[in-house]
């Protein structure tokens, strides 16, 4: 595991252990907390057009809220990974290798997919 990520994981784990919260962190409840945090991030963007989104990203106070929601999401993912003994970096590397085979550049470059519409080029 990357040493910087390990340091962050250790800080989060220590924070939770000091508060005796680790006992509450089972995979199901961590996943529910994670989904809740993703919902809070989504609320920050709901019904905003591109200009309004640009405005919140350039406003330091509003941007801070976005940063905090992203931090909450990442922290829950890190906790879920250490509680299930999953190496995040190794998992990402493995998934990228799998995706390289699934989506070869020569067949997929510039194309995106939608589960209902299928593959499309351009936006």
In degrees rounded to 5, what are phi and psi of residue 119?
Answer: -85, 140
Same domain, 41 and 98: no
Q: Say yes or no: 25 and 80 in one domain.
A: yes
On whether both 45 and 103 belong to a single domain, the answer is no
Q: Inform me whether the pLDDT recorded for 1 exceeds 80.
A: no
CA atoms of 79 and 57, how far apart (whole Å): 27
Where does the pLDDT of residue 118 fall: very low under 50, low under 70, confident under 90, or very high at 90 and above? confident
| CATH number, domain with residue 43 | 1.10.287.1080
Same-domain status, 106 and 71 = no
Question: Torsions phi, psi of 49, nearest 5?
Answer: -85, 175
The tens digit of pLDDT for each residue in 40-85 reads 999 999 999 999 999 999 999 999 999 999 999 999 999 999 999 9
Range scoring the smallest mean pLDDT among 1-15, 39-53, 70-84, 106-120? 106-120
Is 92 a residue whose pLDDT tops 70?
yes
Q: What residues make up the domain containing 122?
A: 87-123
Interatomic CA distance for residues 18 and 20, integer angstroms? 6
DSSP 22: G
Q: Determine the pLDDT at residue 70.
A: 98
Residue whose token pair is 């970096």: 89
Same domain, 76 and 114: no
pLDDT at 21: 96
Which residues make Cβ contacts (< 8 Å) with residue 16, sequence separation at least 6?
A: 22, 25, 79
Instruction: Compute the distance between CA of residue 29 and CA of residue 19 in angstroms, rounded to an integer.
Output: 17
pTM of the model: 0.87
CA distance 100 to 45: 31
């Amino acid at each position: 595991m990357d040493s910087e990520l390990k340091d962050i994981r250790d800080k989060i784990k220590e924070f939770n252990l000091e508060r005796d919260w680790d006992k509450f962190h089972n995979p199901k409840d961590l996943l529910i907390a994670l989904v809740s945090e993703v919902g809070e991030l989504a609320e920050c963007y709901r019904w905003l057009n591109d200009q309004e989104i640009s405005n919140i990203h350039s406003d330091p106070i509003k941007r801070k809220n976005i940063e905090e929601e992203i931090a909450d999401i990442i922290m829950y993912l890190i906790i879920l990974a250490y509680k299930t003994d999953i190496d995040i970096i190794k998992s990402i590397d493995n998934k990228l290798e799998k995706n390289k085979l699934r989506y070869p550049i020569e067949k997929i470059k510039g194309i995106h997919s939608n589960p209902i519409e299928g593959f499309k080029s351009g936006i």
